[in-house]
Structure 1
């Protein structure tokens, strides 16, 4: 009886110690996270602040964090200088088509690698992964010659069509890893009920991989929305330019002469271009993190 009482007393005494350890651990985590968050937020804060300043206050030292006066007309000047509505429509159209193609075809290819059994499957998957390490500059000239032969230069086809032909290797890998975590018994039960491979993919697998699809959607959206490399190569006419190309044009089109940087207008344009990416990640971050975490559960 005495031993039981002593044990109970020691347990009660150990509770405050556990709480102290937990609070100390949380405080340590916060001490590490807060400086990192400030470090990463500083460029964004400077960008927003600069977009609302007069030109003479942009490079003022010490820097003026809160603009005084606030110049909202910088955003109006940007839209008047560069046709952002047209470039925005071009970017939205291209991004949505690429997004739809990647999610549909990449999930099909991932389903094949995760569920189908055929000779050379693992070799083909390894070959697919090896293309991730291949720099895009290596295949740039051959692909450009192919697209020029097809008459696709100065159109959106070189930017959209490849996403409808299997998707990117990274997206295939991400979805394949997620599908591999799903029980194979569901496929076998569906086969007993007379469901074919496409039915299994469309009715069973696709609804269950929504978190991974959300992660893929965010990646693809960011890639295409911010892409300037391929857009600069394949889009020549200004009517076909995207927001990234419009921002690049804004950097070089100062009426005060070549080489003059209007930082306040450039930052205002950057805020306009960046806002959709922030909104997409803000509203879909839960699914994004869930999809990334679950893809590493099983190899």
Structure 2
């Protein structure tokens, strides 16, 4: 009999099931405490917005009542109707949307500039990009008077084009486009050129589709800047027909006696569209800011 036949069989290994660690009571209490603190902080932060929306649908008697009540007893939308029928807020809204639409055209020019700085080598590229960065350090108030004189010489005062033209291209947006487009592989562009694609087609078919996150960021920033524009429209437009929503809200106290419900209705009309745009593009905004700093 061989030695292998006499050797005892090795003992079978016992299967051990992984033990699930239950969270410690202390860690669970800390998580609950942090969540409660964050919830209270979020409620405190959102309370002015909730108060504004609730007051906009209150009758005037409830908005000036003491002690104040958060929720309206008899909601009404009469002040929103009054804004458009009696106070010409419909014209202000159309003017603001036109200014935003003109500003959106500048996204194409800023994307082209960012693409050129990111993917082309030409003489003077670094000094030109340095000048773009320098414009970010100059306060807007410093350039208002020269810009007004230039637009006045071009007969663009009291026009919506004159209101939107100074913010058509900004150095910060060109910088963001350039930072993002440096992350696009150059090999993809070279392959498209070898297949016979021109630069316009490369930009339209490759660069812009791959730049959706930063485009979403710029759409939100451009919309907010155009929607909230106040000081420059007030300077460049002397005619009430070219006022924006923010200018109309600032003049509301001068046009009518103090009415908190009417003022909150105008403020709600101003704030809610910005929130809607931000929520719609929130995922792309976070992604765009995260990727724009990568090399």
Q: Does 1:114 align with 2:110?
A: no
TM-score, normalised relative to structure 1: 0.85
1:271 is paired with a residue of what secondary structure? helix
Q: Kindly report which structure 2 residues correspond to 1:17-28, keeping only aligned pairs within 5 A, or say none.
A: 17=23, 27=32
Tell me, which stretches of 5 or more residues in structure 2 are unaligned?
A: 1-9
Describe the shift of the 1:221–1:26 C-alpha distance in structure 2 as closer, same or farther (beyond 3 A). Answer: farther
Aligned to 1:270: 267
| 1:239 CA displacement | 1.5
Q: Deviations over 1:175-223 (max 9, x none)?
A: 1111111111111212222333333222211111011101100110011
**CA distance in 1: counterparts of 2:87 and 2:183, whole angstroms:** 48
Which moves more between the two structures, 86-95 or 55-64? 55-64
Displacement of 1:20 after TM fit?
A: 8.8
Superposition pairs of residues 1-299 of structure 1, within 5 angstroms: 8=16, 11-13=18-20, 15-17=21-23, 27=32, 30-99=35-104, 101-164=105-168, 167-254=169-256, 256=257, 261-298=258-295
Give the drift of 1:265. 0.5
Distance 1:73 1:113, change over 3 A: same
How far does the alpha carbon of each residue in 1:157-190 deviate from its partner, in whole angstroms, 9 at most, with x for none? 22333455xx211111111111111111111212
Provide the C-alpha distance between the structure 1 equivalents of 2:209 and 2:37, rounded to a whole number of angstroms.
38
Deviation of the 1:115 alpha carbon: 0.5
Contact 1:75 1:265 in 2 (8 A): yes
Equivalent in the alignment of 2:7: none
CA–CA distance in structure 2, aligned partners of residues 274 and 17 of structure 1: 43
Deviation at 1:24, TM superposition (A): 6.5
Taking a change above 3 Å as real, the CA distance of residues 179 and 18 of structure 1, as seen in their structure-2 partners, is farther
Distance 2:132 2:81 in 1: 46
* RMSD value, Cα: 2.6
Q: Evaluate the alpha carbon distance shift between residue 110 and residue 233 of structure 1 in structure 2; reply closer, same or farther with a 3 A threshold.
A: same
**1:9-65 CA distance string (max 9 Å, x none):** 6x515x3349996x6775465345323321221110111122122334335454310
How many residues align? The count is 285
The structure with more helix, counted as a fraction of residues: 1
Distance 1:25 1:207 in 2: 44
Q: Distance in 2 between matches of 1:69 and 1:203?
A: 54
